[in-house]
């Protein structure tokens, strides 16, 4: 049974950065639910994938040093630990992971054609498709053996999880390895990062929910790593239940025990999160309004999908934030979704005269603080809403 716990207002498509501001940009109700049976947390409104992931998806994983490093480290681990002949990445984006593999050893699947083009132009076989059973069948027919399947921040974007995991189990050989990586529900709740929810993020997974899903397809977890990326993520290592050659590590039991103790299997946890979220929204707006009373300049840093949720939910607009800075070329000179706040191409000179930076990309706080030492030395301050709104 799906139980409602939070309404995050009306939200535009989180990555729909418009060239010309329109106050009529389409918005959808963003409501969060907890399923008492399978323990999955999801949003209710499902937008057709084609509306979100098409030929002009702006987000590129390679835009941050943190993510480039994380993918490089993972590629080293995969080679050392599993030594696969062929890996398949679902949601290969701009190739931040597969570029660390030889062209003959890695294949991408990417529904956004602008991104798929990047990896195929570099010589990587890239299927410009959505992940589904039809594609899994095609791959099984065309490719001899895929030893390892990897997918980061992608499966949570696909509505039909039964089809997702059925397709994965079908394509995996008996000794195959599946690694998936997504924001951790426990970290999201702990940090009150309600901004992990937007129309693209249909689910935010816990290990408990992933285990329940895998059970249905005779798959099982054999290791879990906690990562600091995207505000705290989990990397799940999965095998077929019939494969007894891989040992199940204690990390699996430990994570599930931690999550159960924290209450991720209980609806009351999400009711408490909803109250904290409402308080966070109110105090962020109050904090920003107080700063503006003193005629100070606030800008945003990192025009993230997460920031779209925060701005539209907290009713923050161009009276509060002058502009956003972002390094992504496809976001430059466009407007934050749902808001008349312009995004400018990152240039350190644009920080002159700025008093406060609102951290849209709070998940890259360390990387950004390192880069903006000058701003800090000159007395510049940051605003964050994670875990609670504050200035630092
Ligand atoms: O799942 C998803 C995740 C992985 O990426 C997507 N559905 C969409 C996207 O979400 P996001 O926009 O919240 O992701 P990020 O990775 O937090 O976005 C960071 C943004 O900040 C990028 O647009 C790049 C920008 N940035 C910047 O301008 N300067 C980032 C850093 C580190 C910087 O120094």
Closest C-alpha residue for ligand 1 atom 15: 304
State the distance from the centre of ligand 1 to the C-alpha of 80, rounded, in angstroms: 29
State the distance from the centre of ligand 1 to the C-alpha of 234, rounded, in angstroms: 18
Is residue 202 lining ligand 1, measured as CB closer than 6 Å? no
pLDDT given for residue 341 in this prediction: 98
Closest C-alpha residue for ligand 1 atom 5: 59
pLDDT given for residue 144 in this prediction: 87
pLDDT given for residue 161 in this prediction: 97
State the distance from the centre of ligand 1 to the C-alpha of 294, rounded, in angstroms: 30
For the CA of 200, the nearest atom of ligand 1: 7
Kindly report the three-state secondary structure assignment for every residue of the chain.
CEEEEEEEEEECCCCCCECCCCCCCCCEEEEEEEECCCCCEEECCCCCHHHHCCCCCCCCHHHCHHHHHHHHHHHHHHHHHCCCCCEEEECCCCCCCHHHCCCCCEEEECCCHHHHHHHHHCCCEEECCCCCHHHHHHHHHHCCCCCEEEEECCHHHCCCHHHHHHHHHHHCCCCCEEEEEEECHHHHHHCCCHHHCCCCCCEECCHHHHHHHHHCCCEEEEEEEEECHHHCEEEEEEEECCCCCCCCCHHHHHHHHHHHHHCCCCHHHHHHHHHHHHHHHHHHHHHHHHHHHCCCCEEEECCCHHHHHHHHHHCCCCCCCCEEEECCHHHCCCECCCCCCEEEECCHHHHCCCCEEEECCHHHHHHHHHHCHHHHHCCCEEEECCCCCEEC
Rounded to whole angstroms, the maximal C-alpha distance in the chain is: 66
Is residue 63 lining ligand 1, measured as CB closer than 6 Å? yes
For the CA of 303, the nearest atom of ligand 1: 23
Question: Which of 63, 89, 375 most suits a substitution to test ligand 1, by most atoms within 8 Å of the C-beta?
Answer: 63
Per-block mean pLDDT, blocks of 10 residues, the chain (392 long)? 97 97 96 98 94 94 95 98 98 98 97 98 98 97 96 97 98 98 98 98 98 98 98 98 97 98 98 98 98 98 98 97 96 98 98 98 97 97 98 98
Q: Is the pTM of this model over 0.85?
A: yes
Cis peptide bond prior to 116, omega within 30° of 0: no
Is residue 385 lining ligand 1, measured as CB closer than 6 Å? no
Is residue 309 lining ligand 1, measured as CB closer than 6 Å? no
Is residue 305 lining ligand 1, measured as CB closer than 6 Å? yes
Closest C-alpha residue for ligand 1 atom 2: 153
Q: How far apart are CA 247 and CA 341, in angstroms?
A: 52
pLDDT given for residue 139 in this prediction: 97
State the distance from the centre of ligand 1 to the C-alpha of 64, rounded, in angstroms: 8
Is residue 126 lining ligand 1, measured as CB closer than 6 Å? no
pLDDT given for residue 45 in this prediction: 87
Question: Which of 302, 312, 358, 370 most suits a substitution to test ligand 1, by most atoms within 8 Å of the C-beta?
Answer: 302
State the distance from the centre of ligand 1 to the C-alpha of 361, rounded, in angstroms: 6
């Amino acid at each position: 049974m799906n139980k409602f716990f939070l309404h995050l207002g009306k939200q535009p498509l989180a990555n729909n950065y418009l060239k010309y501001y329109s106050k009529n940009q389409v918005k959808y109700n963003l409501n969060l639910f907890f399923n008492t049976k399978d323990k999955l947390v999801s949003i209710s409104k499902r937008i057709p994938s084609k509306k979100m992931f098409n030929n002009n998806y702006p987000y590129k994983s390679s835009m941050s040093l943190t993510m480039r490093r994380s993918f490089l480290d993972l590629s080293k681990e995969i080679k050392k630990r599993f030594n696969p002949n062929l890996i398949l990445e679902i949601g290969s984006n701009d190739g931040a992971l597969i570029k660390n593999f030889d062209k003959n050893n890695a294949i991408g699947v990417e529904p956004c054609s602008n991104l798929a083009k990047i990896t195929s132009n570099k010589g990587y076989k890239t299927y410009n498709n959505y992940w589904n059973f039809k594609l899994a069948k095609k791959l099984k027919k065309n490719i001899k053996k895929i030893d390892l399947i990897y997918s980061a921040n992608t499966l949570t974007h696909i509505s039909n999880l039964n089809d997702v995991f059925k397709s994965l189990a079908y394509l995996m050989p008996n000794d195959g390895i599946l690694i998936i990586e997504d924001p951790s529900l426990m970290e999201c709740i702990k940090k009150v990062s309600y901004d992990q929810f937007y129309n693209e993020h249909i689910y935010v997974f816990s290990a408990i929910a992933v285990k329940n899903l895998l059970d249905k397809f005779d798959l099982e977890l054999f290791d879990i790593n906690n990562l600091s990326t995207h505000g705290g993520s989990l990397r799940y290592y999965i095998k077929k239940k019939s494969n007894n050659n891989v040992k199940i590590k204690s990390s699996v039991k430990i994570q599930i025990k931690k999550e159960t103790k924290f209450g991720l299997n209980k609806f009351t946890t999400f009711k408490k999160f909803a109250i904290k979220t409402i308080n966070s929204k109110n105090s962020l707006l109050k904090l920003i309004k107080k700063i503006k009373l003193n005629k100070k300049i606030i800008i945003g840093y990192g025009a993230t999908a997460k920031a779209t949720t925060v701005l539209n939910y907290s009713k923050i607009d161009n009276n509060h934030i002058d502009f956003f800075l972002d390094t992504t070329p496809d976001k430059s000179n466009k407007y934050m979704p749902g808001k008349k706040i312009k995004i400018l191409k990152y240039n350190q000179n644009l920080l002159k005269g700025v008093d406060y930076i609102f951290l849209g990309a709070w998940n890259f706080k360390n990387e950004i603080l390192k880069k903006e030492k000058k701003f800090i030395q000159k007395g510049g301050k940051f605003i964050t809403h994670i875990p609670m709104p504050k200035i630092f």
